[in-house]
Every structure is written in structure tokens, then in C-alpha cells.
Amino acid sequence: MSVNNEFRKQFDMNTSMSSELQSLKDEKLKISMKVDDLKSQLNDYIQSCEVLKDMNSELTQKVEDMSVELKEEKRHNWLRNTKHFALLSLSALKKIAQVVIPVYLDGPGRF
């Protein structure tokens, strides 16, 4: 009987070990699936980051282009305003000259 008991103990131990091994295999499979899922999520995040990086580059270029356009427009407006101010100044000088020169030429006693 002792041999039978020994075989029975070994059988029970083998059954227990097999069950534990299967449990570990199942856990390994779950972990592998989780790792694959996390890898997939990571790849999605990486792609999203690449898209955002590209969008950021495009927006940066657009902002730079707009900045150049605004500087050109500012320069154009400044030149236009300066020209307008110069023309107003010349017009004012012309009107002053039209009044002052005849009076000056007529002499001080003619007022």
C-alpha cells in the first residue's frame, strides 16, 4: 500500500503542478495580450504625436508667413502715411507761401 500511496501523492502533486502550470500559462497569455494591447496603444499615441508635430510645423510656417505679410503691410502703410503727410505739409507750405510771399513782396508798409 505504501507504494500506492506514494504513487497517489505523486499523481496528486503532478495534477496540482499541472493545474498550476496551466494557470501560469493562462496568466502569461493574459499578460502577453495586455502587452500587445499596450504596444498598439503606444503606436497610436506615437502616430498622434507625429500628426500633431506635423500640424505644429504647418501652423508655425503659416504664422511666419503671416508675420512677413503683416510687416510688409505695415511698411506699405507707413510709406503711404508718410507720403500723405508730406503732401499735406507741401500743400500747407504752398498755401502759406501764396499768402506770405505777396505780402512780403508788397513791403511792410502795405498792411
- HSE of 27, CA atoms in CB hemisphere, 13 A: 6
**Rounded to 5 degrees, what are φ and ψ at 24?**
-65, -40
- In the block, which residue shows the cell 495580450? 33
| Residue 106: predicted pLDDT | 79
pLDDT single digits (tens) 16-49: 999 999 999 999 999 999 999 999 999 999 999 9
pTM of the model: 0.55
- In the block, which residue shows the cell 498792411? 111
Percent of the chain with pLDDT over 90: 75
